Each structure stands twice: as C-alpha cells, then as structure tokens.
C-alpha cells in the first residue's frame, strides 16, 4: 500500500500483514474522511512546482494542477476553486473516483522520486466540497438565450458535461434518459462509499436550475427512435454508455443466484437511495451472512467485493484468471479490498457452477500464464487436473461490458459502428456518419473512465457549437443569395 493510502485510512485495527490474509475489518473508515484545511494546505505546499507539470499532462482534462495547488497552499481557496472548475465540470467527483495512481498522482515527480505523491485527488475534492459549502458554486447564468436546441441521449458524465457547456453558450438543451434519476453510472453503478449520491444529485439539480431540461424514464428506441428525436432538435448527442454484460458460457450458468455485476450494484445503490427493491428486500440480492464469489479483476469487480463486505457477507472471494500484477483494476482499489478482508484467488478461472436449482459451489481451474497474446499480455492457460471447489451462496459475474446494438435499438441501420459495436465518429468533429448527430463517452471509447467521459462531453459541446454556427451561417447565406 502506498504512503498516500496510509494517510487516509484509519489503521487502528490490524497490521498490514494481517489484513493481506483477508482478515475482516470490523467497520469501515472511508477514504478521505478526515481531510481538513490544514491537511489540504500542507499537502498542496508539498508540490515542488517542478516546471514540467507531468500531473497536468497526464490528467485527461489537463487540469491546471500546479496553480490550484499553489493557491490552496496560500489559503486562496475560492481562486483555487475557480481555476479548478474552469476545466472540469465535476471536480469533486473526479477527486473522489479518478484512478489517480494511473493519472495525475502516478506521474507526480515527487512520487517518481520515491517520496509519495502530492494527494492531488483529495485536494481537488476538498477545494470543490468547500466551494459547495461556502455557496461559491452557482447555477449557469446565460447572457442571451439562443433559439437552437440540442437533444442529449444519456444523463451520464459525458451527457451532463456536454449539456452544461452548451447551456453556457445559451442553447436550449434537453437531456433524455431511460433511468428515473440522472447521473448514469455515477448514480447506479459506482457505489456510495466511493461516490456519495448527494454529490451527484446536487450537480444535476444545479444543471436544472441553470435551465437544462431533463426528461427521465425516456428510452430512445422505445419512446422515440433516433430520427424522430432528431426532428425535435437541431443537433443530437448520443452519450448512452455501454451496458451489455459480457457473459460466461460454462455449465451451470442457468442456476439461480448467479447475477451480473450491475444487477447487484444497482440494487445496492437503489437501497442506499431509499428505493424499494424487491430482489434485495426478499434477500436474493442482499448478501448479508452469505459466501460470495465475484468473478473478474476490474474496477467493477472491486466495487462488487467491497459492496459485499459492507453488506456483511460471511466471506467474499474474488476469482481472477491472471495474477495480481496483471489485474486490469486500479492497484489502489485492490489494496482497499484486501484491507477490507476480501480474499483474492489469483490465477483461477471458473470451470462450472454446481448446485441443485441454486448455485452451491464454483468449480475452479488453476491457471498459469502462458506466452503473450496480440495485446502483449500473457495469456492464462488452464493447469491440467487442477480443479477444486469453493462454496458459494451467490456468484456475481463482472467480466466487463459491451455496447448494446444501437443500430437496432435506435432503428438507425445506417449509423456507423465499429466491430465492437461502439459508435464511429469523425475524431476531429465528433460527428457520427449522420448529419447533426454526435457521440461521446463510453459509447465511443468502450468502457472507460468518468474523467474521459467529461472530457469527451466538453469536446462534443465545442464541436456542436461549431456545427450550429456553420448551419446558421449557411442558412443566412442562402437567404442573402
């Protein structure tokens, strides 16, 4: 565990050695809980203002980190906030959930020289949380209403960032979303212990106050198709994310109590928001007292295991077919999970699910890492005669997500998609092959990160503005001629 983690997690219970064996913490001291002004100033003043801002270069939003650290160190928090929010629509969200160890903090020169990174993410969070507390965060005020309208499909970070930027220009913006609440995966995917729901709700409320219209429970493809929606607007942004769960085709997959990760996480998030959730309330998706097996090694798998420990599961095991060094998830998340008592079974893949109607055991193959595949990663191979069984009352499958078939869903056969089903765009204009229809976020990149979705949303807004201006100019020329 790196020095930064040690600063933020209360380590009053077990030694690191004990924790790595999977011994359970009795309660959870959430990360960042005690981050106070003195700490923010002290941490900010550790920035060496090195001249080559590797942190900034490796932040997808190119946040001006050295300057807002300097302002924070000098106690000029409102100025730090103004600077931070000028490049990021949700700094308090990124501060909480960016994998900083792979982005800004991982590239901090102080970290590189072995002295522990400046805790950029927690300072970013602190600055913006303080701005909310002090009422410095204001709804959008526009100078002039413009009579062009944009329809945005998807109220996740890409759609929200694009909507905010377009509204600032004065455009009429409507966001359509098939869920009952805006926020996309910020609301129903990412667990509350990483990103509290009030943080997302106060952002979306602010956008509503700024004049952005939200239409919830509206599914494009069901309530209107893409072309019908296009008739209502001058431009459209598709920001629908990726939601098709990757399946695991093994014997016993049809047994009860085997669920995709999103079913488990959405149920847990809905409960946290106070909703009635039948499958949770009847005990099916509530893992208290159960032996839980999570399959997968990405960040979503880490969210599942950490949610399960918080629901007081009897045991939580994470099966991953490669080793720790080759896990796709953030090292920090793995460290957190170990800290919380999750048992990792590396180099292991499920062979079949065993049970009578309901799953009772998972048969596991031990794996070894063979030669590198075309992506350069060593391929896991099954070790012969290595099977053994582990007990499971519930299995959660977390093998990643693919895009839904939008051409079918949206009744837009001509919409150009890649072989993976992501939407193809012109990388300069962010426009799809259909005039006036743009796309951003996970539906273009494949499953990615919030900070990239925000960046794409902001870029799309600039391109949509350019497109609308050109359209107006074209019309005026035709009229003049």
Ligand X SMILES: Cc1cc2nc3c(=O)[nH]c(=O)nc-3n(C[C@H](O)[C@H](O)[C@H](O)COP(=O)(O)OP(=O)(O)OC[C@H]3O[C@@H](n4cnc5c(N)ncnc54)[C@H](O)[C@@H]3O)c2cc1C
Separation of alpha carbons 224 and 216, rounded Å: 13
**Cβ closest to ligand SF4, residue 157 vs residue 350:** 157
Please report how close the Cβ of residue 449 comes to ligand X at its closest, in angstroms: 3
Query: Taking CB under 6 A as the rule, does residue 155 contact ligand X?
Result: yes
Q: Pick from ligand X, ligand SF4, none: which does 158 bind, CB < 5 to 8 A by kind?
A: ligand X
**Applying CB under 6 A, which of residues 55, 98, 120, 267 lies at the interface with ligand X?**
98
Q: Residue 8, Cβ neighbours under 10 Å: how many?
A: 17
Q: How far is the CB of 33 from ligand X (least distance, A)?
A: 17
Q: Which stretch binds ligand X (CB under 6 A): 12-20, 179-187, 225-233, 382-390?
A: 179-187
* Closest residue by Cα to residue 316 from 329, 331, 306: 306
Which residues, in sequence order, are CB contacts of 33 under 8 Å at separation 6+? 8, 10
293 touches, from ligand SF4, ligand X, none (C-beta below 5 to 8 Å by class): none
List C-alpha distances in Å: 272 to 91, 203, 266.
23, 18, 10
- Two tokens at 476? 């005026």
Q: Which stretch binds ligand X (CB under 6 A): 18-26, 187-195, 204-212, 350-358?
A: 187-195
Q: Does 190 bind ligand X (CB under 6 A)?
A: yes
Residue from the set 159, 297, 329, 349 that interacts with ligand X by CB under 6 A = 159
CB 123 → ligand X: shortest distance, Å? 17
**Which of ligand SF4, ligand X, none interacts with 97 (beta carbon under 5 to 8 A by kind)?**
ligand X
Among 199, 442, 460, 468, binds ligand X (CB under 6 A): 442
Q: How far apart (Å, rounded) are the C-alpha atoms in residues 156 and 148?
A: 22
Q: What is the Cα–Cα distance from 334 to 319, expressed in whole angstroms?
A: 13
CB nearer to ligand X: give 181 or 317: 181
Interface pick for ligand X out of 25, 178, 379, 471 (rule CB under 6 A): 178
3 state SS of 411: coil
Per CB under 6 A, the segment of 41-49, 275-283, 287-295, 443-451 that binds ligand X is 443-451
- Give the burial class of 475: count Cβ atoms within 10 A of its Cβ; 0-12 exposed, 13-18 middle, 19 or more buried: exposed
In the complex, the residues that contact ligand SF4 under the rule CB under 6 A are 59, 61, 63, 65, 88, 94-95, 98, 100, 103-104, 120-121, 124, 451
* Residue 63 interacting entry, from ligand SF4, ligand X, none, C-beta within 5 to 8 Å by type: ligand SF4
φ/ψ bin of 417: left (φ > 0), alpha (ψ from -120 to 50), beta (otherwise) = beta
| Calpha distance 87→105 (Å, rounded) | 18
144 to each of 169, 171, 236, 464, how far by Cα in Å?
A: 8, 9, 21, 18
**Do 398 and 304 touch, CB atoms closer than 8 A?**
yes
Residues within the interface to ligand X (CB under 6 A): 97-98, 153-159, 176-179, 184-185, 189-190, 194, 219-221, 239-241, 265, 299-300, 303, 441-442, 448-451, 453
């Amino acid at each position: 565990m790196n020095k930064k983690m040690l600063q933020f997690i209360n380590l009053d219970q077990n030694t690191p050695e004990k924790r790595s064996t999977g011994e359970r913490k009795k309660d959870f001291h959430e990360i960042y809980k005690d981050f106070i002004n003195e700490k923010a100033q002290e941490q900010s003043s550790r920035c060496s203002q090195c001249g080559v801002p590797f942190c900034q270069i490796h932040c997808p939003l190119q946040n001006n980190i050295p300057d807002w650290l300097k302002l924070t160190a000098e106690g000029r928090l409102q100025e730090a906030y103004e600077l931070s929010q000028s490049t990021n629509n949700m700094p308090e969200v990124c501060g909480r959930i960016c994998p900083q160890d792979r982005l800004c903090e991982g590239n901090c020169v102080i970290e590189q020289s072995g002295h522990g990174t400046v805790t950029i993410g927690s300072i970013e969070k602190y600055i913006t949380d303080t701005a909310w507390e002090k009422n410095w965060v204001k709804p959008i005020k526009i100078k002039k209403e413009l009579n062009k309208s944009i329809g945005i499909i998807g109220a996740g970070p890409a759609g929200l960032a694009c909507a905010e930027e377009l509204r600032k220009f004065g455009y009429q913006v409507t966001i359509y979303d098939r869920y009952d609440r805006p926020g996309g995966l910020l609301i129903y995917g990412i667990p509350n212990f990483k990103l509290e729901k009030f943080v997302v709700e106060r952002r979306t409320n602010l956008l509503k106050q700024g004049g952005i219209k939200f239409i919830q429970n509206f599914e494009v493809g069901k309530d209107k198709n893409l072309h019908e929606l296009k008739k209502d607007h001058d431009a459209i942004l598709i920001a629908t994310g990726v939601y098709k769960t990757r399946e695991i085709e093994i014997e016993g997959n049809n047994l009860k109590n085997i669920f995709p990760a999103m079913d488990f996480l959405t149920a847990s998030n809905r409960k946290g928001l106070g909703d009635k959730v039948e499958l949770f309330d009847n005990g099916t998706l509530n893992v208290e007292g159960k032996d839980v097996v999570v399959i997968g090694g990405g960040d979503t798998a880490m969210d599942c295991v950490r949610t399960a420990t918080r629901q007081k599961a009897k045991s939580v095991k994470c099966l991953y077919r490669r080793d720790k060094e080759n896990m796709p998830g953030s090292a920090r998340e793995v460290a957190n999970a170990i800290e919380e008592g999750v048992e990792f079974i590396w180099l292991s893949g499920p062979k079949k699910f065993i049970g009578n109607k309901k799953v009772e055991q998972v048969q596991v193959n031990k794996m070894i890492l063979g030669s590198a595949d075309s992506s350069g990663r060593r391929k896991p191979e099954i070790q012969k005669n290595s099977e053994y069984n582990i007990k499971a009352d519930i299995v959660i499958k977390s093998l990643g997500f693919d895009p839904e078939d939008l051409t079918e869903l949206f009744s837009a056969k001509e919409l150009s998609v890649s072989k993976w089903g992501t939407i193809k765009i012109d990388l300069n204009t962010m426009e799809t092959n259909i005039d006036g229809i743009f796309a951003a976020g996970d539906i273009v990149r494949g499953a990615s990160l919030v900070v990239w979705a925000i960046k794409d949303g902001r870029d799309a807004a600039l391109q949509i503005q350019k497109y609308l201006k050109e359209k107006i100019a074209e019309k005026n020329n035709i009229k003049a001629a």
